[in-house]
Structure 1
Amino acid sequence: MPLTGRWTLTRYLIEERRRYPQASGALNALLLDVSLACKAIARIVARGALATNAAAPQAGALNVQGEVQKPLDLLSNDIFLRMNEWNGHLAGMASEEMDEPRPIPEAYPRGRYLLLFDPLDGSSNIDVNVSVGSIFSVLRAPAELTDGSRELRGADFLQAGATQVAAGYALYGPSTMLVLSVGNGVAGFTLDPELGEFVLTHPAIQVPEETQEFAINTSNARFWEPPVKRYVDECLAGRTGPRGKDFNMRWIASMVAEAHRILMRGGVFLYPRDTKDPAKPGRLRLLYEANPVGFLMEQAGGRASTGRQPVLGVLPSALHQRIGLVFGSASEVARIERYHHEPPPGDSDAPLFAPRSLFRD
């Protein structure tokens, strides 16, 4: 960063583009439009209950996830669509709030990218004034979609997280922040309300390697798989347990706020697969939440996993696929993965020491 002052988001993106002389600048322009959508949503969220009026889209229906849509969910979704449909950089969009992907209107040109987003993550927390956010992911569109050879399909979005071109989130808290990666590390920008610009305040974010914090919803403990229960029990055992140190537990129930805390000061977040609803292999959405957050974590030196494998390597099978997710400090996530792959403590393949053995109590 130059000594003359902080960089704006625009300058940051220009400097990143200079690393690729062949780049057209379309990605930069797209990300600036995404940031504009986030600014608009930030203003609405800041008004709280004052923002809900007769002009807002009606809510109360269930989205494709079976969740009740709030007025601000729908309004935020509409903002993302309107801010990005016209710019000529996209071939289609998909949102957690929409059953099907949204093609670009015929009045506008098609571009070379696909945009996926959760327009207002954690919206159930708005009523109690807890931080919420928007999450987004950018993929390359298939060539035949870009040149108009065929129409948009849901399958176009079913790409592994490792193929993401860019990903990020906006956090609407005491200050509005945009955290972004274009594949060269992670940078954080704070919205300057006087300038109306996102200003680089957190360059080269790195997830701290060591941590003494974990985040999980313990009300689901009875549904956890043994490796998750083992990990949490060891953390709770504290200094006298096998980890030899005390841990603090956090739980905000807002994905963006959880991810931001871990990027800033380390820790591990677990929303694992469990037995609460056997029909659902997890709670979080692979394309709209797990992949973009996983991309940021990996770019910041952390790790993101299903508990069994890197989440960015999962090939999606459905547009609204759910998945278990663990992310944060790399060593902690690696430990949880190891617990999933090794036998539970006390188990043995040796017949003499198996549960039905000569030495059974």
Structure 2
Amino acid sequence: MQEKKPQHLTLNRFLVQRQLKHPEATGELTAVMDQIGKVGKIISNYMRRAALEGLTGLTGAVNVQGEKVKKLDEIGNSVFVEAFEYVDMVGAIVSEEMDRPLVISSANRKKKYVVLVDPIDGSSNLDVDCVVGSIFSIRNLKGSVEESILRKGTDQVAAGYLMYGTSTLLVYSAGDGVHIFVLDGQIGEFVLEHENIRMPERGKIVSSNFGNYRKWAQPAREFADSLASEREEYALRYSGALVADLHQILHLGGIYFYPEDAKRPEGKLRLLYECAPLAMIAEQAGGAATTGRARVMDIHPEKVHQRVPYAIGSRYEIRRYEEFYRK
């Protein structure tokens, strides 16, 4: 008798089904991903009530990046920390909002993972109620905490993002494709929306802050200029939230790029908890991510809050982007 498929395949059930395909699996990664889902539900609830409860605006503090901290930046960071502080298999948390990694000590059992997060991506959108997200990366804890953190993107066990907009979405990969879940408010669970989504080989979307055009490195300016000569027309879509821009490209194809410029010759986006996790998503969906000169997943980080130039999207557009950096 054929097994009846559930109408709503929840995140937890999906994770357990995937786990059963791997006899060596211990269920620990499933538990960590389940906590990511809980984080998404909690932050989503804060987002819905932020304006009503006075949660918009600044705290008055400045983070390690030199950026003014929004109230919801601080709340998002606390939610992630509290979600993993008492999960025995997580030994450390790295966050955009914390100067140093938070090492979690416990006598109960051996720690297995390090979790790296950008708690609120696109926080400049918060005060005008536009889309924001959260980005996460999960890595094995091997050797010291520092050694485990400062590894290439290819060493990620899983990665993904949450997006808080018209729906709350959870997008993740554990190296077996990219899967999208949407939060069903009626049952309080993330349910499967797309399994093994594929990014088009070539797309229609260009996403970048063209207000910085004159400051960009010359190869990036030349690439932008070349788009006008393409037979296929591109549509400009830039929201100020990296996860929102990538999510469009994941479905429709194209390219997002934030190159080095006169103000930030090292780039703006953080390698470990923004660029590498999203690069894993792009590659698992058939896309790519580059600095212009190197594959993002191959970069060996030198420090926790390291920044890099960044382009991510469909393979055709990424190849074109890299061509201008090779000239």
Tell me the amino acid that sits aligned with residue 285 of structure 1.
R
Instruction: Provide the rounded CA distance (Å) in 1 between the counterparts of 2:53 and 2:102.
Output: 26
Kindly tell me: are residues 282 and 208 of structure 1, through their superposed partners in 2, closer, same or farther at Cα, counting changes over 3 Å?
A: same
Which residues of structure 2 form unaligned runs of 5+?
A: none
Of 303, 323, 335, 2:288 maps to 303
- SS state at 1:61 partner: strand
Task: Give the alignment of 1:29-108 within 5 angstroms.
Answer: 29-52=31-54, 59-106=59-106
Q: Which moved more, 1:289-298 or 1:118-127?
A: 118-127
Question: Normalised by the size of structure 1, how large is the TM-score?
Answer: 0.86
Q: Distance in 2 between matches of 1:174 and 1:212?
A: 22
Aligned-CA RMSD value: 1.8
1:289 is matched with which residue?
274
Q: 1:168 to 1:70 in 2, by over 3 A?
A: same
Q: How many Å separate the matches in 2 of 1:259 and 1:228? A: 18
Q: Could you say what secondary structure the match of 2:323 adopts?
A: helix
The whole-number CA distance in structure 1 between the counterparts of 2:108 and 2:239 is 40
Contact 1:52 1:71 (8 Å CA) reproduced = no
Whole-angstrom CA distance in 2 between matches of 1:179 and 1:45: 18
How far is 1:2 from its partner? 6.1
Q: Is the 8 A contact 2:139 2:148 kept in 1?
A: no
Shift of residue 15, structure 1, vs aligned partner: 1.6
Map of 2:241 onto structure 1: 254
Q: Which residue of the partner structure matches residue 208 of structure 2? A: 216
Aligned residues between the structures = 325
5 Å matches for 1:1-361? 3-52=5-54, 59-106=59-106, 109-142=109-142, 144-145=143-144, 152=145, 154-235=146-227, 237=228, 241=229, 243-278=230-265, 281-342=266-327
| Contact in 2 for aligned 1:269/1:327 (Cα 8 Å) | yes
Separation in 2 of the partners of 1:29 and 1:172?
22
Q: Which one has the bigger strand percentage?
A: 2
TM-score normalised according to structure 2 size: 0.95
Contact 1:90 1:110 in 2 (8 A): no
Contact 1:63/1:97 (CA < 8 Å) preserved in 2?
yes
2-structure distance, mates of 1:66, 1:231: 30
Unaligned segments of structure 1, at least 5 residues? 146-151, 343-361
User: Is the 1:297–1:303 Cα contact (8 Å) retained in structure 2?
Assistant: yes
**2:88–2:106: 8 Å Cα contact kept in structure 1?**
no
Q: 1:42 to 1:17 in 2, by over 3 A?
A: same
Contact 1:7 1:199 in 2 (8 A): yes
CA contact (8 A) 2:209 2:238 kept: yes
Aligned to 1:357: none
Partner of 1:205, secondary structure, is coil
Partner of 1:355: none
CA distance in 1, matches of 2:201, 2:148: 36
